Amino acid sequence: MEYKAKAVAGLLAATCVFSIIALILAVVDVKDVFLPPSTKYGLVFDAGSTHTALYIYQWPADKENGTGIVSQVEACAVSGPGISSYANDPAGAGASLKPCLDKAMKIVPEKHQPQPPTYLGATAGMRLLRAQNSSKAEQVLLEVGKAIGEYPVDFCGARILTGNEEGSFGWITINYLLETLVKFSFAEKWEHPQDAQVLGALDLGGASTQITFQPGVPVEDKNTSVFFRLYGTNYSLYTHSYLCYGQTQALKRLMAALHQDSPSPQQISHPCYPRGYQENITMADLYDSPCVRAPSTPSPAQVLTGTGTGDPMACSTAVQKLFNVSCGANNRTCGCDGVYQPPVRGQFFAFAGFYYTFQFLNLTSQQSLSDVNSTVWTFCKKNWLELVETFPQEKKYLQTYCSVAIYILTLLLDGYKFNEQTWSSISFRQQAANTDIGWTLGFMLNLTNMIPTEAQEHIKGHQPGLWAGAVSFIVLAIMAGLVAVFLQCFWKTK
């Protein structure tokens, strides 16, 4: 009888244990608990003034608050001009995005497609359109939102960034990728790197340019001051965006100024264009931007002829007239248009238009300022036929490289106040950690809350998360159930 009672008690105990396990398995999906953490994806459209690009990012789902773990999977260039060019055809702006969205759907695994947060940020081109016609700008944003909404993504909205946001997010991108904000230490915890110097950001787009850096003095103008607390460290930054100082708008302003100074109403002598080059442009195309002051009696259909003279000295003089660097009666430190700017400090990454022009001229290897000037001057003296023979693949934009190079030098030296000594602090870069530099990554990190206000400490290679908590709960529940069952069965056999 005693043997029988113990057998019955054992059977009862086993039944109770398996019942508890069955109940737990019915509530918790074990495959989601014990399989390795999945990968997450994010999509960001950079809707610039001259073109749009889609960036696809990925990161381990269990390390969202780590650093250096977001990687760029793909960058897709959208065909056609920037979305602001579709002011009279808003549906066309949306349609232009679809080939890149189709490409993204082939890259992002199907099981993740309803999940990836997707954003569209528009910059200076749309800021200009909004200034001209706010209803047209809103309609363009509505249509691109409709197009993105047709895809299995978590569309989080399309909006126009402020200039200070564009500059700040670019700064976050650079310093996040280079791990100057936080990195994993030998003590196996995430912490602020000792003596880490954050880098400044220099961005040159088609319609605007931005400068962002950590100054060595308090920022006097609150309109140019940004405060961040990232990973438990405070950052007080200077940032400013100059609308109409992007390279496309600057070249348009330069052409308009040369036209208005020309003795002939139909002929423009252009010192920044190579000798032997000519182009025709209508008054309507030249004066179609709020950045360009039109003459009092414009004739839209009139065709103007620009003729290159290849004179770098005259080109530099003409470009300098685009800048107002007077600081006024207050005699404060300032940059372009009398805007307050403290002295530049630290190392800088110059990207986007800064990089592309200097890369073409082979000037991205930390050359001295005198070598840069010499290279630009030599290039600007070449005639058109010589340039076409040397760079046949670059013919579409070849006539602009001299103008843009001299504009960049003027912007950095006269506008942002770099000099012979601080010039060496500028690195012209396209990527950091195999990821394109720009505002898009910083924008996504901010909106997905992947940059915490305090650094999280955890074991290397493992970050506590929901799945780890679920495993702990299951183990504890099983152990508690077993103890209770055996205690109950033990007393029943007594």
Cα separation, 409 vs 94, whole angstroms? 37
Angle in degrees, 0-180, between the axes of helices 466-493 and 2-27, rounded to the nearest 10? 160
Residues near 113 by beta carbon (within 8 Å), at least 6 away in sequence: 105, 151, 152, 153
Helix runs in 302-414, H state only: 312-320, 353-360, 369-380, 384-390, 401-410
Q: Residue 141: which region, alpha, beta or left (left: phi > 0; alpha: psi -120 to 50)?
A: alpha
Strand, helix or coil at 200?
strand
Catalytic residues: 166
- Which residue type is seen at 223? N
At residue 265, φ and ψ (nearest 5 deg) are -70, -15
- Among candidates 292, 124, 260, which has minimal Cα distance to 204? 124
Give Cα separations from 218 to 213, 232, 330, 345 (angstroms): 12, 20, 17, 13
Alpha-carbon gap, residue 409 to 313, rounded angstroms: 13
Handedness of CA 17, 20, 22, 28 (dihedral sign): negative
Q: What tokens does 420 get?
A: 């012979």
Contacts of 423 (CB under 8 A, 6+ apart): 368, 369, 372, 412
Q: Which residue reads 């209803």 in tokens?
A: 135
Query: Do the Cβ atoms of 355 and 203 come closer than 8 Å?
Result: no
Amino acid at 453: T
Burial of 291 (0-12, 13-18, 19+ CB in 10 A): buried
The DSSP bridge partners found for residue 305 are 267, 280
Listed in sequence order, the residues at least 6 apart from 8 whose beta carbon sits closer than 8 Å to its beta carbon are none
Q: What Rg value do the Cα atoms of the chain yield, rounded?
A: 30
CA–CA separation, 428 and 372 (whole Å): 12
